[in-house]
């Protein structure tokens, strides 16, 4: 009994758990490594955060590293879980290489805008973490989805409002989240989704060339995770594999052939359990032509109905 319950629980968790993609997993692992280094070396909590200090001190490297920086372990776990659940569809649509480039591109743009606005504020407020990039990816997804409505906890709302709903939830649940930075992230995600950043975007052909380097070849060989190719054709083959069932794996129903007439000169045969004659030869019409009435009489005769002769 316990084994059966355990199997059912494992099946439910397997259905709920998202398909782990290579790019998303790589971002989460890098965040964990950076958090471990920060904890071991006892670095300041705002050592890689973005804010007014990016322009004041010239710490440009923070624009690319702040998404991987987390102050506390709960912040890291919540952001990592949200990334795996919400950003997998973006990686499946762009490919792993383009998704990683998109992540760094959006991170730098969001960091520049927020640092500039934070410079104008009286009180500087630093921020970090994966949450702004997650909201940007969700905003990007809502522009390309065919769904018009979203559902959350039984409540229906327009799909375009999904990033704002997640913004409210994440601001309440995830610690050290800054509202202004998250709002900027959603707006930048919409800007990218409308194609206004195509001049700095990576093309599909360029991403296909980068896939051939050694690093991405090694990532393709990781078992248990899905590496999404940059090419649209290869991406369809990876995400939508063709099903080739073995012979006899599916039941095949035999259908009755067309109604036929068994005559004395044409012996009846059996085809997969259905009796029929070898050929279908309707009787000739008295005037040498085939009419609908004669075929109808022939079919009725074949089904066992007799017709009386005209007097």
Report which of residues 90 and 296 the model is more confident about: 90
CA distances, 268 to each of 49, 271, 279 (Å): 87, 10, 9
pLDDT of 145: 77
Residue 181 scores a pLDDT above 80: yes
pLDDT of 171: 84
The model's confidence at residue 148, banded by pLDDT at 50, 70 and 90, is confident
Measure the CA–CA gap between 51 and 152, rounded to whole angstroms: 33
Percentage of residues in the chain having pLDDT higher than 70? 71
Residue 27 scores a pLDDT above 60: yes
pLDDT of 70: 94
Altogether, the residues listed in the chain come to a count of 311
pLDDT of 103: 96
Measure the CA–CA gap between 213 and 27, rounded to whole angstroms: 19
The model's confidence at residue 310, banded by pLDDT at 50, 70 and 90, is very low
pTM as predicted: 0.74
Measure the CA–CA gap between 74 and 174, rounded to whole angstroms: 8
Q: Which of 28, 37, 64, 36 is nearest to 48 (CA)?
A: 64
Q: Where are the alpha helices (DSSP H) in the chain?
A: 2-16, 22-41, 53-56, 62-65, 73-86, 88-94, 96-120, 131-144, 162-173, 179-193, 204-210, 214-220, 232-239, 292-302
Measure the CA–CA gap between 229 and 236, rounded to whole angstroms: 9
pLDDT of 307: 46
User: Which residues have C-beta within 8 Å of that of residue 67, sequence separation ≥ 6?
Assistant: 27, 31, 103, 107, 128, 129, 130, 132, 133
Q: Which residues of 284-309 are buried (b: 16+ CB within 10 A; e: fewer)?
A: eeeeeeeeeeeeeebeeeeeeeeeee
The three-state secondary structure class of 180 is: helix
Measure the CA–CA gap between 174 and 132, rounded to whole angstroms: 12
């Amino acid at each position: 009994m316990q084994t059966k319950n355990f199997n059912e629980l494992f099946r439910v968790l397997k259905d709920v758990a998202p398909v782990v993609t290579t790019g998303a997993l790589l971002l989460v692992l890098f965040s964990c490594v950076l958090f471990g280094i920060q904890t071991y070396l006892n670095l300041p909590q705002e050592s890689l955060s973005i804010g007014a200090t990016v322009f004041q001190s010239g710490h440009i490297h923070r624009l690319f590293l702040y998404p991987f920086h987390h102050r506390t372990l709960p912040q890291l776990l919540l952001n990592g879980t949200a990334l795996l659940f919400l950003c997998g569809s973006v990686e499946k649509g762009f490919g792993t290489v383009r998704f990683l480039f998109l992540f760094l591109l959006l991170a730098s743009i969001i960091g520049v805008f927020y640092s500039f606005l934070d410079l104008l504020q009286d009180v500087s407020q630093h921020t970090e973490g994966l949450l702004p990039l997650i909201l940007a990816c969700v905003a990007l997804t809502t522009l390309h989805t065919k769904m018009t409505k979203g559902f959350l906890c039984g409540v229906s709302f327009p799909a375009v409002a999904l990033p704002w709903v997640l913004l409210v939830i994440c601001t309440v649940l995830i610690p050290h989240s800054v509202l202004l930075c998250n709002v900027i992230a959603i707006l930048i995600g919409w800007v990218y989704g409308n194609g206004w950043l195509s001049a700095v975007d990576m093309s599909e052909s360029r991403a296909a060339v980068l896939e051939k380097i050694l690093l991405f070849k090694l990532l393709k060989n990781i078992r248990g995770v899905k590496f999404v190719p940059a090419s649209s054709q290869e991406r369809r083959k990876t995400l939508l594999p063709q099903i080739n069932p073995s012979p006899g794996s599916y039941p095949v129903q035999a259908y009755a052939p067309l109604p036929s007439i068994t005559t004395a000169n044409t012996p009846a045969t059996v085809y997969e359990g259905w009796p029929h004659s070898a050929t279908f030869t309707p009787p000739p019409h008295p005037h040498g032509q085939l009419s609908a009435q004669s075929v109808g009489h022939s079919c009725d005769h074949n089904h066992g109905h007799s017709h009386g002769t005209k007097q």
